[in-house]
Structure 1
Amino acid sequence: MALLMQALALPAHADAPTPIPMQQLMELARGGAAALPADVRIEIEPGQLDARLKLAPCRRIEPYLPTGSTAWGRTRVGLRCTDGPVNWNVFLPVTVRVWSPAVVNVGPLQAGAEIRAEDLQIREVDIASAAAPVFRDPQLLVGRLLAATLPPGTPLRPQHLRVRQWFAAGETVTLVYVGEGFSASTEAQALSNGLDGQAVRVRTPSGKIVTGWPAGERRVEVRS
């Protein structure tokens, strides 16, 4: 994790600038972004407070995330003075950049195009530029269809892909029960289309209705 070594200063009395606790801001950013890969590096770019603010000098400033804010992209952090002549509280705009290897497209891709391996490469990008996750494995994208036209160098995210349909309603599927140390399978009839990431109901030969998850071509899994 790259640390910002230079201490910036909040607007305060001209002879007593108040330093921003950058190390604590970095820890706040990493703790506020769930499940970050180990190979990311975080950068924080502080914005500017209202120039009309005149803050008293402070020996201890505690940063915190306000309710409803996240340490991701353009956001804000709270800064409160807990050791000074006046205990003040302000909100500082910041930009959190999270640099990580991710899959991007080499050249422009048209909506409806099927993604090929040669269309993709791994590049370090700011994954915090949008809320949706990125892909880190190109093989997860090969053969998928695009839902939108993408300019070169776009980090691919789930919303860029058409929802994959593994089977249609009425088709015969393999229903697989998966548990710790065992698996069993039977045939069943799909009662709705099998779309990636969406639960689907199937009917077994005995007439029982079971809910599972599409997991491949004409395959539904039920995990216990």
Structure 2
Amino acid sequence: MKRKFVVNRLIISLLLFLPGITSASVTLQSALQDYFNQQYLKQDKVNIKILTPSEHLSVCNQLQIKPAPSQQHWGKLTLPLICDEKTYYLRLAVSVEGNYWVANQPIKRHSVINQHNVMAKRGLLEKLPRGIIRDIQAYQNSVSLRDIAAGQPISQNMLRRAWVIQAGKNVTVYAQGRHFQVKYEGKAINNAAENESVRLRMPTGQIITAIAQKEGYAKIALKH
């Protein structure tokens, strides 16, 4: 891949901070490319432009690339670097071409999301809304919170995960300890999706908190 930016004199003896990168002399550009490639799928195409002026870049004997403070890994962002134990902040423009999901037909509010009403599309992720969904499997059977137009990219704030436990329903609760398991029955106080906390009222009136499971029961892990 043709590099857009080469840093004269900046040769990095990279620590074993990035998986898959050996301790070898590499340019800052290639170190950044390797770092961001690991944030994406193999089929994604990642291009990086360094916005920080070259005269502001220091010569490093040892460099660590720290994760960006933001969860977003594309568009304009600032990446913390530790250069010889001193922290610098590098401004970047990261462009990513990859797959995301759109509605393949109008989806009404409260509809269930499944393979029949969505389809994959490829494009520049930095041009899309925040929270765009890339792994539709994680959102199978989620429920739309609003009407979604055909062709519209689907983002996380448009959906809620399907409830596996509903408020007011009786729920089986398992308390798991070392070498034993106790079974209770309680009534759910709130709705909960898989792996979310659910509060339950026991027959004694006691209220406990457990973790909702995919199969519709709740589990408490007892401390040993």
User: How does the TM-score come out when normalised to structure 1?
Assistant: 0.60
Q: Do the aligned partners of 1:202 and 1:209 also contact (CA within 8 Å) in 2?
A: yes
Once the two structures are TM-superposed, the CA of residue 46 in structure 1 deviates from its matched residue by: 0.9
Q: Return the alpha-carbon distance in structure 2 between the equivalents of residues 48 and 140 of structure 1.
A: 36
> 1: distance between equivalents of 2:206 and 2:89?
60
Q: Is the 8 A contact 1:76 1:91 kept in 2?
A: yes
Going from structure 1 to structure 2, the CA distance change for 1:125 and 1:221 (only over 3 Å counts) comes to farther
- Which residue of structure 1 lines up, in the alignment, with residue 2 of structure 2? 6
Q: What is residue 26 of structure 1 aligned with on the other side?
A: 33
1:220 corresponds in structure 2 to: 218
Q: Distance in 2 between matches of 1:21 and 1:30?
A: 14
Residue 147 of structure 2: aligned partner: 149
Residue aligned with 2:31, SS = helix
- Match of 2:207? 209
Distance 1:67 1:122 in 2: 27
Identity %: 15
What does residue 73 of structure 1 align with? 74
* TM-aligned CA distance change 1:40 to 1:184, over 3 Å: farther
- CA 1:120/1:43 → structure 2, altered by over 3 Å: closer, same or farther? same
Q: State the alpha-carbon separation in 2 of the partners of residues 104 and 181 from structure 1.
A: 47
Quick one: structure 1 residues 8 and 81, their matched pair in 2 at CA, closer, same or farther if it must change by over 3 Å?
A: farther
Alignment of 1:100-139 (within 5 A): 101-124=99-122, 132=131, 134=133, 136-138=135-137
Output the aligned Cα RMSD. 4.5
TM-score, normalisation: structure 2: 0.60
Separation of aligned partners in 1, 2:50 and 2:149: 29
Give the count of matched residue pairs: 199
Judged with a 3 Å threshold, the aligned counterparts in structure 2 of structure 1 residues 184 and 160 are, in CA distance, closer, same or farther, namely: farther
Indicate the residue corresponding to 2:49 in structure 1: 46
Residue 199 of structure 1 and its aligned partner are, at CA, apart by 1.7
1:125-171 deviation digits (Å, cap 9, x = unpaired): 666756547353448423x32113334445544322135443124x3
**1:29–1:96: 8 Å Cα contact kept in structure 2?**
no
Contact 1:121 1:138 in 2 (8 A): no
Q: Which moved more, 1:66-75 or 1:157-166?
A: 66-75
Per the alignment, residue 85 of structure 1 pairs with none
Secondary structure of residue in 2 paired with 1:27: helix
State whether residues 64 and 83 of structure 2, in contact with CA within 8 Å, keep that contact through their aligned partners in structure 1: no
Name 1:160's counterpart in structure 2.
158
Q: In 2 relative to 1, CA 117–71 (structure 1 residues): closer, same or farther, beyond 3 Å?
A: closer
